[in-house]
Chain A
């Protein structure tokens, strides 16, 4: 079955630590890939997206993600996290339509 997997359910980091959140998908063919963030008490916001071209995508707030087609992965990275990055992060995929399929999410806690 088509699915999106986020293996890190809960990540705890100190400020200035580097972050990498994993995302794998099981779709065949061409996919569009997204990372969304949900800050506490707020709505989902788009961090970045990949459609085609350069597999290294830069998003808002210093986040980036790399699409590795051979590994069916789209991992999210940030070199140095801040306390304000504490949030829930969701990877999502769609194919051909606007329907988004979400991963289970990763809760990130950053301590000062």
Chain B
């Protein structure tokens, strides 16, 4: 199956700093990647849709200036949490969509990144 990686797997940072999380599709090209956020014992909430070569589409209530998304290549999307605060602490998960001509465009998920802001 298709593999998606995320780096780092966990990060601890001080309040006010920025953190960059990478999402890579290792063995396929993905024109579209998705970024999710998961709070403890809660569901995955879609934050934004990342499109290669164009601006990301953010879900309602997600600050685009706070969560910067860059999808510069067909295998890499990055999420930068700018001026992080403790309330940004969460589990961030990305997925990459694989295009199939005759069937569902399945999403493959990365292992997630645990962000802790002190």
Contacts and interface: CB of A to CB of B under 8 A. Distances in A.
Interface of A: 4, 9, 32, 36, 42-46, 49, 51, 90, 98-105
A9 B41 CA distance: 9
B107 interface: yes
A42 to B, nearest CB: 7
Contacts of B34: 98-100
Interface of B: 4, 32, 34, 36, 41-46, 49, 93, 95, 97, 104-107, 109-112
A49 B104 contact: yes
A98 B43 contact: no
A43 B110 contact: yes
A47 to B, nearest CB: 12
A99 B46 CA distance: 8
A98 B97 contact: yes
A104 B42 contact: yes
A42 B9 CA distance: 11
Contact of B43 (A42, A49, A51, A104): A104
A102 B110 contact: no
Contact of A105 (B43, B95, B106): B43
Contacts of A45: 109
Contact of B44 (A32, A49, A51, A90): A90
A34 to B, nearest CB: 9
Nearest to A36: B109
